[in-house]
């Protein structure tokens, strides 16, 4: 399946845009998403940490993804 | 639970915020105001830029305020956060909390800013004379 | 040590106070605002009256702020206190403290209001439907 | 000696005015002042506590008073 991944902050710089499309096996989880992204964008491995949000919630590692999900990469936050 | 949470693109106003949390059954209001500092780790800062994952940021801010109401007997709570470009001295965030007694107001306000900085998807870029950097992005 | 301490007979203004403590080298401002509550120990309050031993109150407020600057790395501190008659929702006290980092601002602001309530010679009279009482006067 | 004593809050109600004049032995201290006041105004003994301020400072019990001092009775404070 193809999922669309939103990017913010440093992740936007790394992806070179505010979203990227990623090919994943059907029913991939967030760990597989991270692996695929890090393969395409090795600089992702250099940031302090990052989380995956699915449908506006922080996602656990074993959460299964679907093409209808709103998926986002959340680098270390720094608001306030 | 009277709550006002907003992500705003223009200047934040302290008076508006404290007036909103004022309540005839509250005796104390605590307010935290973040301001853009002219230096970070000894290096002069020119300006900041804040980017938010808007809907998720609003959701996370609501979760924090809900937790605060569960932990302390609050009357009202307000959270305003800026996006966009901010100059030195401008206000990225205002948190205002009212309660019958001051202990709850102080503790809840502190909890809200501390948790916001850990969980709310908002990112700050610092601009220096010689470049720019996403805060906390790298180890 | 930039400090502004005033005993005032007219309404206090939050915006004025927070603007005064804003500083380009401060990243956080904490503000405590006291407000007149409509009830005390379950009994409806109509209004309050504050009386001060003026010169001594100013002296004691300066001592507290000086202690706060000795204990925390603060940028500016402001303390405004009302005298006279206050209606429900009006503001008897505003304390505003700026610092490079928020910890110092929160802790110093808390220290200042807690100590003020113990040592500064100001007295509050509560007016009820059926009488009036000097707060804390009797055991 | 005669000293003038300022009163605030409940003390003003007890004295029936914002100051009273009190006769004390020369070089009396604040304890003697309190005793003299409590003799004239027994209701003073009913308040939760009170301190004496001399020249705008809280005074120790053994501080000696003089007629030139600004002396005040400080009932429990309740500002803020």
CATH number at residue C78: 3.90.1170.40
Q: Do chains A and B touch (3 or more CB pairs under 8 A)?
A: yes
Disruptive mutation site among B136, B138, B139 for chain A (greatest number of A CBs within 10 Å): B136
Question: C138 CB near a chain D CB, below 8 Å?
Answer: yes
B51-96 pLDDT tens trace? 999 999 999 999 999 999 999 999 999 999 999 999 999 999 999 9
Flag whether D79 is in a domain: no
Contacts of D78 in chain C (CB under 8 A): 117, 122-124, 134-137
The 3-class SS string of A11-67 reads HHHHHCCCEEEEECCCCCEHHHHHHHHHHHCHHHHHCCCCEEEECCEECCCCCECCC
Q: Which residues constitute the domain of residue A38?
A: 2-74
Q: Which residue of D has its CA nearest to C113?
A: D80
Out of D12, D13, D48, the one facing C136 most closely (by C-beta) is: D48
Q: Is there a contact between B98 and B24 (Cβ–Cβ < 8 Å)?
A: no
Domains contained in chain B, number = 1
What is residue B72's predicted lDDT score, i.e. its pLDDT? 98
What is residue C1's predicted lDDT score, i.e. its pLDDT? 86
What is residue A4's predicted lDDT score, i.e. its pLDDT? 98
Flag whether B117 is in a domain: yes
Flag whether B107 is in a domain: yes
Distances from the Cα of B26 to the Cα of A10, D20, D49, angstroms: 42, 39, 28
Domains contained in chain D, number = 1
What pLDDT tens digit does each residue of chain A (80 aa) get?
999 999 999 999 999 999 999 999 998 999 999 999 999 999 999 999 999 999 999 999 999 999 999 999 999 999 99
* Local structure of B25: helix, strand or coil: coil
Question: The CATH number of the domain where A61 resides is what?
Answer: 3.10.20.30
Residue that has been written with the tokens 């500064």 in this structure: C120
With an 8 Å Cβ cutoff, are B137 and A74 in contact? Answer: no
Alpha helices in chain C (DSSP H): 14-21, 54-71, 102-119
Task: Looking at the complex, report in whole angstroms how far the Cα of residue C22 sits from the nearest Cα belonging to chain D.
Answer: 23
Size (chain A), residues = 80
Q: Which of C126, C65, C122 is nearest to C96 (CA)?
A: C65
In chain C, which stretches have pLDDT less than 70? none
Confidence band of D9 (pLDDT split at 50, 70, 90): very high
Out of C93, C118, C134, the one facing D9 most closely (by C-beta) is: C134
D16 contact partners, CB below 8 Å, separation of at least 6: none
Which ipTM did the prediction report? 0.95
**Separation of alpha carbons D24 and D65, rounded Å:** 9
Flag whether A80 is in a domain: no
Higher-pLDDT residue of C74, B139: C74
Q: Which of B110, B79, B84, B113 is nearest to B96 (CA)?
A: B79
Q: Terminus-to-terminus CA distance in chain C, angstroms?
A: 39
**Separation of alpha carbons C67 and C65, rounded Å:** 5
Q: Which residue of D has its CA nearest to C32?
A: D80
**Separation of alpha carbons A13 and C21, rounded Å:** 37
| Pairs across A and B, CB distance < 8 A | 82
Q: Which residues constitute the domain of residue B100?
A: 2-134
Q: Is there a contact between C27 and C102 (Cβ–Cβ < 8 Å)?
A: yes
Q: What tokens appear for D18 in the block?
A: 């914002």
* Local structure of C126: helix, strand or coil: strand
Q: Do chains C and B touch (3 or more CB pairs under 8 A)?
A: yes
Flag whether C4 is in a domain: no
């Amino acid at each position: 399946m193809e999922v669309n991944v939103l990017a913010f902050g440093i992740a936007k710089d790394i992806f070179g845009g505010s979203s990227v499309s990623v090919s994943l096996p059907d029913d991939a989880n967030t760990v597989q998403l991270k692996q695929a992204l890090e393969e395409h964008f090795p600089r992702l491995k250099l940031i302090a940490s990052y989380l995956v949000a699915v449908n506006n919630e922080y996602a656990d590692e074993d959460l299964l993804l679907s093409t209808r999900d709103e998926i986002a990469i959340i680098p270390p936050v720094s608001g306030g | 639970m009277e709550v006002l949470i907003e992500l705003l693109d223009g200047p934040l106003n302290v008076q508006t915020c404290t007036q909103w949390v004022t309540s005839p059954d509250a005796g104390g209001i605590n307010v935290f105001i973040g301001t853009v500092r002219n230096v970070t780790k000894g290096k002069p800062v020119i300006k900041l830029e804040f980017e938010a994952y808007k809907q998720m940021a609003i959701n996370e801010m609501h979760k924090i305020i809900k937790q605060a109401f569960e932990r302390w007997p609050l009357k009202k709570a307000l959270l305003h956060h800026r996006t966009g470009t901010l100059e030195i001295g401008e206000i990225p965030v205002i948190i205002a909390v009212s309660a019958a007694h001051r202990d709850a107001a102080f503790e809840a306000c502190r909890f809200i800013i501390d948790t916001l900085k850990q969980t709310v998807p908002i990112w700050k870029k610092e601009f220096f004379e010689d470049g720019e950097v996403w805060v906390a992005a790298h180890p």
